[in-house]
């Protein structure tokens, strides 16, 4: 990656942790679904459907995973360092250090291993020093924990009886899974169109005409007409 195109966006530790927790909990929901419903289940389990104990365990795993990545050097973080103890600290939860550096400095992997991270303060502390205002490059976090993209759900198929498909059908199935489309949940066509325009088929960008057609075909006809769905009832006209 060229220096001029390097993403220099920095995330606070809390923002990075929130991202890792979201990705980890979402992946745990997917794993939980596979364990309960099978690998090829078409039902998508929402994070809100997970038992509280499963969510709590996933978040704990996210915390541990983020700290391990910092201790092993997969992520590099900076922070404002101090080795000057506070004159008067009312309690252990208060800051025990003062006169932190104005400019952030790199926190080494050795310091991550020696120190203890205080999630309440957002600080890394050892008996000899303290780091606050810890930040990590966003692109590093996104590399280790990429944003979760749902997979299109397909039934199990034997190679000998595999159903014929095309890249365009695969893309429409991926869109249905990505937006969670159901008979009750019909996204606006414009949103679907914009998404298709960002995709590629066999290395080529999707044309606007194709994107428009696919955005139309994955929605119900009633949603395309707009307004209330037609409800069929008895024919009240008198027979002649």
Higher-scoring residue by pLDDT: 6, 156: 6
**Tens digits of per-residue pLDDT, 190-203?**
888 888 888 888 88
HEC string of 16-54?
A: HHHHHHHHHHHHHHHHHHHHHHCCCCCCCCCHHHCCHHH
For range 8-37, the mean pLDDT: 82
Residue 44 CA to chain centroid, in angstroms?
A: 15
Domain ranges in the chain are 9-144, 164-225
**Tens digits of per-residue pLDDT, 32-57?**
666 655 555 554 556 666 677 878 88
**Tens digits of per-residue pLDDT, 55-88?**
888 889 999 999 999 999 999 999 999 999 887 6
pTM comes to: 0.56
Q: Which two tokens stand for residue 222?
A: 């009633």
């Amino acid at each position: 990656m060229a220096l001029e195109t390097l993403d220099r966006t920095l995330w606070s530790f809390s923002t990075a942790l929130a991202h890792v927790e979201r990705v980890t909990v979402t992946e745990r929901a997917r794993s939980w679904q596979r364990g309960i419903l099978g690998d090829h289940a078409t039902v998508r389990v929402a994070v809100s459907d997970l038992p509280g104990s499963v969510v709590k365990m996933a978040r704990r795993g996210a915390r541990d995973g983020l700290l391990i990545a910092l201790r092993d050097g997969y992520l590099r973080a900076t922070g404002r360092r101090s080795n000057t103890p506070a004159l008067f600290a009312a309690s252990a939860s208060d800051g025990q250090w003062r006169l932190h550096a104005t400019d952030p400095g790199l926190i080494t992997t050795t310091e991550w291993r020696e120190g203890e991270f205080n999630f309440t303060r957002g600080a890394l502390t050892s008996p000899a020093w303290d780091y606050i205002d810890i930040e990590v490059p966003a692109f590093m976090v996104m590399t280790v924990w990429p944003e979760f993209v749902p997979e299109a759900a397909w039934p199990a198929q034997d190679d000998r009886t595999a159903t014929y498909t095309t890249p365009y059908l695969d893309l429409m199935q991926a869109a249905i899974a990505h937006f969670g489309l159901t008979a009750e949940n019909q996204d606006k066509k414009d949103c679907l169109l914009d998404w298709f325009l960002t995709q590629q088929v066999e290395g080529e960008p999707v044309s606007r005409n194709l994107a428009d057609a696919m955005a139309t075909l994955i929605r119900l006809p009633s949603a395309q007409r707009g307004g209330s769905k037609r409800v069929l009832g008895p024919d009240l006209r008198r027979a002649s």
